[in-house]
């Protein structure tokens, strides 16, 4: 090859529960996750597999509630194991980190549900223990059932973003502005562990949070974790263009990915950030066979396990709309409820009138809202390459149909082809997650979070 | 030996920070923790050492604030690294668990600062990932600086216990009463992951918490973690007698330990619990030498590193009293402030009038408020055995002077002697932490927490 190919970033998408993005497929004979998700071994093996495949990171989804919109009950979600039960993802990080050297970890934590002062310490601790391999997927939470059990009123979408903005301000101050680089001296001779004059109270007195004190932790390798965001709304895109370093999109068609990338580019321009500071990763579920026929047959076999009701439970949680009362065979165009039909349209990102409700639920059942590629390893690699070139995304967020299965097949069969083509790297950078992604350890100078580094200078004046 | 000796329980005491119970000793040439506490390796090595020494568990202290009473500032704590900075202890558990098979983990988490619904999920997740090796040290928090940064008003001691009682009720309901043992079926044939009729909303509507929903996690091996408590007050003792399975006491003299054990026995009687359901562990810092002279010399060497100011910072946080304004040489009996003198008396558990302020601070500097034994391994073993026989405690909570150092010496030199005497076991039980301690995996039938198992039965009626 003479031309320098754009590097393809690879990320894995998983969740600390029996069934993540493919409702019903937990029951497939190959899938073991419905019992193994609770064990350390599942995660350690997965982490090793991903590092063997030169993945940049693994992104752990999370919800703090149960999907209870469908039929007004959480019974369907529980019966089909649809992201319920769901364990805390953060404890998987030290486990997976101890089994790997380079893999990054993106943790989903809601600004609505966790106190910023306590949360900032959690992330700094993980960044220390992993030698700088932690990332944070910033969410504002969509499940009313979560807020209810935490004693909060569910707040409206836009207000959640307003609260999130202040939340970010608090944690930036703690991570970037509270401890100077040379605050900790470890000077045994003079019996001086740290210089208190280089540790600063953040004095945050805002509308939603009051945090007067200093951060509890000394600076970690990355200070601020790598920031993820997956907001698809206008407001979400603005938020991403201001804060995010990794952006995740879930669209089934390339023109939709391209549209997103173009819009994000505009927002980034407005925010004064360079496109190179943000990587956009597109959701992808590969179904791989030795031949195209084998891959197609595999997909058909998976389809037999799709849970129609489980999918509608998932959609109910995502959209807030209860799709019960319709048969699988009912056509979407005959759904009378206007909100429901427009939700389907925005959800599928296309005119789905010709679909049946069953097709709509199946659309979600394998690979969530993202692209599904069915074929040989060569064909999967071809289509990934095409998708990147057509859309301008930087890589993929890979979801599984069955686990173990999808990730192992992808690593063993597709990654070597992508490496041959010069798309996926053949060795890791040393150092932090951010360094692996961008070539620097901490937020770049003009990132809004980095500006809080000035806090200490201001206080000194 | 003909008589069956009472088994000696061994627990290690540490904290995710540079300097735990021995202010100033971080600067001793042997101590490496001021830099290594942030790393995975320190904790993995420590866990392996403790398991090699047949320790039952490790107890991780925690504070969510900084010691800022002394001189009305947190500067002294930061300068001397006195439990500041302090990282989150919970992420050490998966690390240490992956390096061991039997060691238990006691995590300090405050009922004042963590939401019970989110906390219950954290503990269930850890119990799953460690195969049932998690414990919870229940604290109500003493540092006003913690509450301030979380946006809470510090509540009074007795009200904290009232809130803690309701908090326990909520988490018992989630851990014990929400998911029946056979709720999760994993029935692939019938595509039924769980039976929703065996998952129960807890419907908790109390004075301090409202938690209507079900637990987010399926039952873990122990369901409720092993419950630790260290409350020394009358109210704390009542709380311990009702809930605790491991009780930690910090006293320097055997008659004080005996008095505590006797009082706890009375409270246990009143609470209808058997003494065998609770293990009392006494704080101990061993300083071990090949000869008594070497041990004494070691202690003298440690004393040279004691930080007088650091100790007063620690005491300030514990007592709420600022001891600045007195010289090291000042006698306690000449302190005019009545509250301060009575605090010293209750703190040292003895009439300390003859002491100097320097002696008082030094009393805390090596081994906190607990017993310090200085001698050969044989002498340390003798005194531990005597202490157990005299006081009726079940074992020891071992703190370090320097780390690495104290734990390694104790495991290599003292444990084999205790094993020879039939006091410390020579193999672990299989199974959970609770099984290792008590011979059963879950709370016993009449424990107050276990009674919430009835929740499901009641709901069904």
Instruction: Give the model's pLDDT for residue B342.
Output: 78
Q: Is the pLDDT of residue B323 over 90?
A: no
Instruction: Give the model's pLDDT for residue A2.
Output: 42
In this prediction, residues A260-269 reach a mean pLDDT of: 93
Identity of the residue in A44, A87, A196 whose CB atom sits nearest the CB atom of B121: A87
Q: What tens digit of pLDDT does each residue of B237-266 get?
A: 889 999 999 999 999 899 999 999 999 999
Residue A203 zone, left/alpha/beta (φ > 0; ψ -120 to 50; rest): left
Instruction: Give the model's pLDDT for residue A325.
Output: 85
Q: Is the pLDDT of residue A142 over 80?
A: no
Q: What tens digit of pLDDT does each residue of B278-306 get?
A: 999 999 999 999 999 999 999 999 999 99
- Say whether A151 and B214 touch across the interface (CB within 8 A): no
Q: What tens digit of pLDDT does each residue of B54-104 get?
A: 999 999 999 999 999 999 999 999 999 999 999 999 999 999 999 999 999
- Residue A380 pLDDT class (50, 70, 90 cuts): very high
Q: Which pair of tokens denotes residue B27?
A: 């600067």
pTM of the complete model = 0.96
Q: What tens digit of pLDDT does each residue of A60-79 get?
A: 999 999 999 999 999 999 99
For A24-38, A203-217, B247-261, B346-360, which range has the lowest pLDDT when averaged over its residues?
Answer: B346-360
Could you give the percent of chain A with pLDDT greater than 70?
97
Q: What tens digit of pLDDT does each residue of A103-126 get?
A: 999 999 999 888 999 999 999 999
Instruction: Give the model's pLDDT for residue B457.
Output: 57
In this prediction, residues A43-59 reach a mean pLDDT of: 98
Could you give the percent of chain B with pLDDT greater than 70?
97
Q: What is the 3-state secondary structure (H, E, C) of chain A?
A: CCCCCCCCEEEEEEECECECCCCCHHHCCCCCHHHHCCCHHHHHHHHHHHHHCCCCEEEEECCCCCCCCHHHCCHHHHHCCECCCECCCCCHHHHHHHCCCCCEEEEEEECCCCCHHHHHHHHHHHHHHCCCCEEEEEECCCCHHHHHHHCCCCCCHHHHHHHHHHHHHHHHHHHHHCECCCCEEEECCCCEEECHHHECCCCEECCCCEECCCCCCCCCCCCCCEEEECCCCHHHHHHHHHHCCEEEECCCCHHHHHHHHHHHHHHHHHHCCCHHHCEEEEEEEEEEECCHHHHHHHHHHHHCCCCHHHHHHHHHHHHCCCCCCCCCCCEHHHCCCHHHHHHHHHHHCCCCCCCEHHHHHHHHHCCCCCEEEEEEHHHHHHHHHHHHHHHCCCEEEECCCCCCCHHHHHHHHHHHHHHHCCCCCCCCCCCCHHHHHHCCCCCCCCCCCHHHHHHHHHHHC
Residue B369 DSSP symbol = T
Check residues A150 and A443 and name the one with the higher pLDDT. Answer: A443
In this prediction, residues B195-216 reach a mean pLDDT of: 96
Phi and psi at residue A399, to the nearest 5°: -100, 160
Q: Which pair of tokens denotes residue B265?
A: 């026995």
Q: What tens digit of pLDDT does each residue of A306-354 get?
A: 999 999 999 888 888 888 888 889 888 888 788 778 778 777 777 778 8
Contacting residues of A for B117, CB less than 8 Å apart = 64, 149-150
Contacting residues of A for B16, CB less than 8 Å apart = 125
* H/E run at residue B107: strand B104-110
In this prediction, residues A415-419 reach a mean pLDDT of: 98
Per the CB < 8 A criterion, the answer to whether B395 and B307 are in contact is no
- Say whether B118 and A114 touch across the interface (CB within 8 A): yes
Residue-range domains of chain B with CATH: 9-460 (3.20.20.30)
User: Which residue, among A85, A184, A219, A313, would best test binding to B if mutated, counting the most B CBs under 10 Å from its CB?
Assistant: A85
Q: Does A40 touch chain B (CB under 8 A)?
A: yes
Phi and psi at residue B340, to the nearest 5°: -65, -40
3-state SS class at B288 = strand
Q: Does B186 touch chain A (CB under 8 A)?
A: yes
Q: What tens digit of pLDDT does each residue of B408-420 get?
A: 999 999 999 999 9
Mean residue pLDDT of chain A comes to 92
Check residues A142 and A315 and name the one with the higher pLDDT. Answer: A315
- Residue B357 pLDDT class (50, 70, 90 cuts): confident
Phi and psi at residue A345, to the nearest 5°: -60, -45
**Interface A:B, Cβ pairs < 8 A:** 220
- Say whether B78 and A19 touch across the interface (CB within 8 A): no
Q: Does B217 touch chain A (CB under 8 A)?
A: yes
Instruction: Give the model's pLDDT for residue B367.
Output: 77
Identity of the residue in B92, B118, B209 whose CB atom sits nearest the CB atom of A64: B118
Q: What tens digit of pLDDT does each residue of A345-376 get?
A: 777 777 778 888 888 888 877 877 889 999 99
3-state SS class at B426 = coil
Alpha-carbon distance B81 to nearest alpha carbon in chain A (angstroms): 6
Per the CB < 8 A criterion, the answer to whether B93 and A206 are in contact is no
Mean residue pLDDT of chain B comes to 92
Check residues B458 and A139 and name the one with the higher pLDDT. Answer: A139
- Residue A220 pLDDT class (50, 70, 90 cuts): very high
- Give me the residues of A, 252-311, that contact B with CB < 8 A: 305, 307
Instruction: Give the model's pLDDT for residue A456.
Output: 62
Q: Is the pLDDT of residue B1 over 50?
A: no
Q: What number is the ipTM of this complex? A: 0.96
- Say whether A81 and B150 touch across the interface (CB within 8 A): no
Q: Is the pLDDT of residue B461 over 70?
A: no
Q: Is the pLDDT of residue B349 over 80?
A: no
């Amino acid at each position: 090859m003479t031309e320098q190919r754009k590097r393809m970033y690879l990320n894995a998408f998983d969740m600390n529960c029996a069934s993540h993005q493919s409702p019903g497929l937990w029951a497939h004979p190959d899938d073991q996750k419905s019992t193994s998700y609770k064990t350390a071994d599942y995660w350690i093996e997965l982490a090793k597999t991903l590092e063997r495949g030169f993945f940049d990171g693994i992104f752990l989804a999370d919800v703090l509630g149960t999907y209870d919109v469908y039929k007004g009950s959480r019974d369907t979600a529980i019966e089909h194991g649809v992201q319920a039960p769901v364990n805390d993802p953060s404890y998987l990080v030290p486990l997976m980190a101890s089994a790997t050297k380079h893999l990054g970890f993106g943790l989903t934590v809601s600004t609505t549900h966790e106190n910023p002062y306590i949360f900032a310490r959690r992330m700094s601790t993980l960044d220390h223990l992993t030698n700088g391999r932690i990332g944070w997927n910033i969410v504002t939470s969509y499940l009313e059932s979560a807020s209810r059990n935490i004693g909060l009123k569910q707040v409206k979408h836009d207000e959640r973003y307003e609260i999130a903005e202040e939340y970010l301000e608090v944690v930036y101050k703690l991570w970037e502005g509270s401890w100077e680089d040379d605050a900790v001296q470890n000077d045994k001779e003079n019996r001086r562990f740290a210089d208190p004059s280089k540790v600063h109270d953040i004095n945050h007195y805002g509308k939603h949070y009051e945090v007067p004190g200093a951060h509890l932790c000394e600076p970690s390798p990355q200070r601020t974790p790598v920031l993820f965001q997956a907001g698809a709304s206008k407001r979400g895109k603005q938020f991403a263009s201001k804060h995010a370093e990794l952006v995740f999109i879930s669209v089934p068609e390339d023109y939709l990915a391209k549209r997103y990338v173009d819009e994000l580019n505009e927002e980034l321009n407005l925010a004064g950030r360079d496109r190179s500071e943000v990587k956009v990763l597109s959701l992808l579920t590969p179904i791989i066979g030795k031949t195209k026929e084998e891959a197609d047959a595999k997909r058909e076999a998976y389809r037999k396990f799709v849970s129609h009701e489980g999918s509608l439970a998932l959609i109910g949680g995502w959209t807030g709309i209860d799709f019960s009362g319709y048969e699988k065979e009912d056509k979407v165009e005959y759904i009378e409820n206007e909100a429901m039909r427009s939700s389907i349209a925005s959800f599928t990102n296309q005119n789905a009138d010709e679909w049946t409700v069953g097709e709509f639920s199946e659309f979600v059942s394998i690979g969530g809202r993202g692209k599904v590629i069915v074929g040989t390893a060569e064909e999967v690699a071809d289509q990934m390459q095409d998708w990147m070139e057509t859309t301008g995304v930087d890589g993929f967020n890979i979801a599984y149909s069955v686990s173990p299965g999808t990730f192992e097949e992808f690593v063993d069969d597709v990654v070597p082809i992508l490496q041959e083509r010069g798309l996926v790297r053949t060795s890791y950078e040393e150092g932090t997650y951010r360094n692996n992604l961008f070539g620097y350890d901490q937020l770049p100078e003009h990132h809004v979070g980095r500006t809080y580094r000035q806090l200490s200078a201001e206080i000194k004046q």
